[in-house]
């Protein structure tokens, strides 16, 4: 059942307009790869400051101020989402059958959920004036998980070519 | 070569190299955005304190890059993209050094006295040069190396 679902997914991807465009010229794929990496750089660059602050490293940064970097991380992720989708549609047989690809997708989902937990349980109370969250274990946990999950996303992204 | 003999070692080096590059390019990008005033209330001293992370990322990349070079030496010495990457890397190191020494250091010292730091055009220029080098040349040529490699 899973196998036939995957075959249908691969067949569908192979008939999309994006696929036809991407396989017609060599440049778009290389451009997508570069932009995909740049998107990750922005995402990780922003999260290094946000999450390390959460773990107590850049203690002189006001926690609420570091949160202003979060939209940059989301912007970086948006670039990755678009370029990643284009690359997946280009070579569906490589991506959809790769275990690393599906592990990466699950990790992204978990990173998204973790960010949501940060927003609800850390940022919102903090913005409302509750400074107790600054020393909470939840802040350290979500910050550590965020860094761990995104590094794992990078790792499994790289492994798509191998697994 | 022992890198070849172990199936997982080569991809592991690639992962480490990509992570180091992400940290360097990403942090430089955040510094430049701050020089342009975003987010204005985040103290410059925080950005100045990122130096050990940047140096750490660079050292990891130098080590992993050396292993990758040893693995693919023949292809790489005949690759224009690789030469371009190495030249730009040294320029990038110089510009980043200037960025921390002449921009971030004095900016955090100024803020420590209670003054507000506003980046001059020169400061912004140094930042933009650093980000342009790390992003557009190092990353792009890093990517293009794979496509400009002559057949072995």
Three-class SS of A35-51: HHHHHHHHHHHHHHHHH
Structural domain boundaries in chain B:
2-148
Residues of B in contact with A53 (CB under 8 A): 46
Mutate which of B12, B30, B57, B137 to disrupt the A interface (most A C-beta within 10 Å)? B30
Rg, C-alpha atoms of chain B: 18
Q: Is B132 on the interface with A (CB under 8 A)?
A: no
Q: Do B26 and A48 touch (CB under 8 A)?
A: yes
Query: Residue A114 has what pLDDT?
Result: 95
pLDDT in tens, B33-84: 999 988 888 889 999 999 999 999 999 999 998 998 888 887 777 788 888 8
Q: Do A58 and B46 touch (CB under 8 A)?
A: yes
- Which of B22, B42, B43 has the CB atom closest to A41's CB atom? B22
Question: Any CB–CB contact under 8 A between A45 and chain B?
Answer: yes
Q: What residues in B contact A37, CB-CB < 8 Å? A: 18, 21-22, 139, 143
| pLDDT tens for each residue of chain A, 163 residues long | 777 888 877 777 777 777 877 777 777 888 888 899 899 999 999 999 999 999 989 888 888 889 999 999 999 999 999 999 999 888 888 888 888 999 999 999 999 999 999 999 888 888 888 777 778 888 899 999 999 999 999 999 988 888 7
Q: Which residues of B touch A40 (CB under 8 A)?
A: 22, 26
Rounded distance, CA A88 to CA A79, Å? 14
Residue B26 and residue A41: Cβ atoms within 8 Å?
yes
Chain B residue closest in CA terms to A69: B39
Closest CA to B35 of B138, B129, B136: B129
């Amino acid at each position: 059942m899973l196998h036939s679902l995957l075959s249908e997914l691969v067949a569908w991807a192979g008939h999309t307009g994006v696929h036809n465009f991407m396989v017609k010229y060599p440049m778009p794929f290389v451009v997508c790869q570069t932009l995909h990496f740049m998107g990750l750089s922005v995402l990780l660059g922003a999260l290094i400051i946000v999450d390390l602050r959460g773990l107590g490293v850049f203690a002189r940064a006001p926690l609420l101020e570091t949160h202003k970097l979060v939209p940059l991380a989301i912007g970086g992720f948006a670039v990755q989402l678009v370029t990643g989708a284009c690359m997946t549609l280009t070579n569906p047989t490589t991506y959809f059958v790769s275990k690393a690809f599906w592990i990466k997708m699950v990790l992204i989902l978990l990173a998204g959920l973790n960010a949501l937990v940060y927003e609800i349980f850390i940022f919102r109370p903090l913005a409302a004036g509750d400074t107790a969250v600054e020393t909470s274990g939840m802040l350290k946990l979500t910050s550590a998980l965020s860094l761990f999950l995104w590094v794992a996303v990078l790792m499994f992204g790289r492994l798509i070519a191998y697994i | 070569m022992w890198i070849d003999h172990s199936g997982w070692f080569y991809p592991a080096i690639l992962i480490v190299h990509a992570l180091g590059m992400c940290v360097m390019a990403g942090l430089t990008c955040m510094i430049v955005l701050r020089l342009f005033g975003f987010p204005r209330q985040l103290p410059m001293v925080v950005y100045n304190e990122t130096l050990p992370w940047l140096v750490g990322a660079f050292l990891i990349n130098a080590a992993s890059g050396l292993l990758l070079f040893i693995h693919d030496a023949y292809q790489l010495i005949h690759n224009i993209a690789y030469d371009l990457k190495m030249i730009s890397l040294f320029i990038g190191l110089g510009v980043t050094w200037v960025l921390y020494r002449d921009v971030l250091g004095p900016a955090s010292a100024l803020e420590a006295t209670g003054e507000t730091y506003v980046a001059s055009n020169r400061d912004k220029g140094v930042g933009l040069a650093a980000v342009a080098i790390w992003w557009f040349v190092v990353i792009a040529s890093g990517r293009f190396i794979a496509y400009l490699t002559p057949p072995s």
